[in-house]
Chains A and B, each alone.
Chain A
């Protein structure tokens, strides 16, 4: 009986590791293809953007959240529902700017970087840049233009990985009827 339980637990872990391995293979291939670190970062962000625009519909159809009234609500839902649903982690929301238009997500255990160490020749790579792109793409589909970047990255020697999100403006050109 306990052997069965062990087996199922290991299975989930193995799937998670497969995800980490796959992402790692992706980044190394991009490095081989593009050579320059900033090109790799740009590609990762583009890929994340494409994932984000599609993932947002899946998120909305499975989570029953209504429209967020302000950025604080968006931050809460991002960290407690979205990250939990897709990566099974709950980053902490912190460091709000005085105008309440910027916030940080502190990621303590990022599944993407589980066994990763950045080599010296690729110091500038934002390894988890796909997350930046995904958040940007998803929020853009919900009519919010945001900027996302990593002010701190644990792979580069900082103590935590911090993803900063800055609200730029509301996109009003493609508003669905009923939202203003």
Chain B
């Protein structure tokens, strides 16, 4: 029973806060010998597997690290180009870690504004007058729950479908927002929230809900 992430979207649909509590780990680190049986290709978010799925390493997984050195896009942290390192025989045996690519912050911002638009569309689609927007979006691997306040701010929590107490968490997040974001005089409305106290409190509420199903 896990909470995966929390998003807060402002009135205009812009993402103002995002917190990833846990990610299901789908990382595989394996040692390979020359020649590499997987076919890799450099793509926009890194070097990814295009052919040769095996041992839990699936198509679409990107290179996360080579020999312990973190990958940043198509290069390693010491500046070496990943494709080059992999194509040279003298570097073998080589240990490469593959995993699902993480969403970049730009992608998250885009997803949030798309959700904001979908929320508005769902109101229009309703056959009944004065319907609310999307409360819950359920998929077999996660459920997304959303609470929109009277002022238009949306709190979105992505969690395990069996997680209980998410609506309590949403209300608690609203209370934390009204306390640590709004009562901070240096925070401007509708802007991204950059307050340590807010982060700390969100984290502790999420942990509380995960463990006990209720918040204090």
- Distance in angstroms from A54 CB to nearest chain B CB is 4
| Residues of B contacting A: mostly | loop
Q: Which residue of A has the minimal Cβ distance to B151?
A: A141
In whole angstroms, how far apart are the Cα atoms of A16 and B141 in the complex?
52
> CB within 8 Å of B: which of A134-180?
141-142, 174-180
| B130 and A178 contact, CB distance less than 8 A | yes
Contact (Cβ within 8 A) B151 A56: yes
Q: Which residues of B contact A53 (CB under 8 A)?
A: 189
Q: Is the CB of B182 within 8 A of A58?
A: yes
Residue among A58, A174, A177, A179 with most chain B CB within 10 A: A177
Residues of B within 8 A of A178 (CB): 123, 130-133, 148
Interface centre among B11, B151, B153 (most CB of A within 10 A): B151
CB-based contact A177/B182 at 8 Å: no
Within 8 A of B (CB), among A90-125: none
Specify which chain A residues have a CB less than 8 angstroms from the CB of B189 in the assembled complex.
53-54
Across the interface, do B177 and A57 meet the contact criterion of CB distance under 8 Å?
yes
Q: How far is the CB of A158 from chain B (nearest CB, A)?
A: 34
Q: Interface size for chain B: under 10, 10 to 19, 20 to 34, or 35 or more residues?
A: 20 to 34
Q: Which of B119-155 contact A (CB under 8 A)?
A: 119-120, 122-123, 130-133, 148-153
Q: Tell me which residues across on chain B come within 8 A of A177, comparing CB atoms.
A: 119-120, 122-123, 133, 148
A175-B11 Cα distance, complex, nearest whole Å: 8
Select from chain B the residue with minimum beta-carbon distance to A180: B130
Segment among A33-41, A60-68, A80-88 that sits at the interface with chain B: A60-68
Shortest Cβ distance from A140 into B: residue: B151
Among B122, B130, B152, B175, contact of A176 (Cβ-Cβ < 8 Å): B152
Kindly count the residue-residue contacts between A and B in the assembled complex, taking CB atoms under 8 Å apart: 59
Q: Tell me, in angstroms, the Cα distance from A57 to B190 when the chains sit together.
A: 13
**Cα distance A30–B150 in the bound complex, in angstroms:** 34
CB under 8 Å from chain A, chain B span 147-198? 148-153, 171, 174-175, 177-179, 182-183, 189
In contact, A58 and B151 (Cβ under 8 angstroms): no
Bound-state CA distance A53–B174 (Å) is 15
Q: How far is the CA of A62 from the CA of B179 in the complex (A)?
A: 11
Residues on A with beta carbons closer than 8 Å to the beta carbon of B119? 177
A176 touches B148 (CB 8 A): yes
Q: Which of B131, B148, B171, B182 contacts A57 (CB 8 A)?
A: B182
A174-B152, A176-B152 known; A57 vs B174 contact (CB < 8 Å): yes
With both chains docked as a complex, state the minimum distance between the C-beta of B197 and any C-beta of chain A, in angstroms: 15
Tell me the smallest distance from the CB of B134 to a CB of chain A, in Å.
9
A60→B12 CA distance, assembly (Å): 20
Q: How far is the CB of B23 from chain A (nearest CB, A)?
A: 29
Q: Are A58 and B133 in contact (CB under 8 A)?
A: no
One of A56, A58, A176, A180 near B183 (C-beta < 8 A): A58
Q: Enumerate chain A residues within 8 angstroms of B11, measured Cβ to Cβ.
A: 174, 176
Q: Please list 7 pairs of residues, one from A and one from B, whose beta carbons are closer than 8 Å in the complex, sorted by A's number.
A: A56-B151, A58-B179, A60-B178, A61-B149, A61-B178, A62-B178, A176-B149
Chain A residues packing against B (C-beta within 8 Å): 53-58, 60-62, 67, 141-142, 174-180
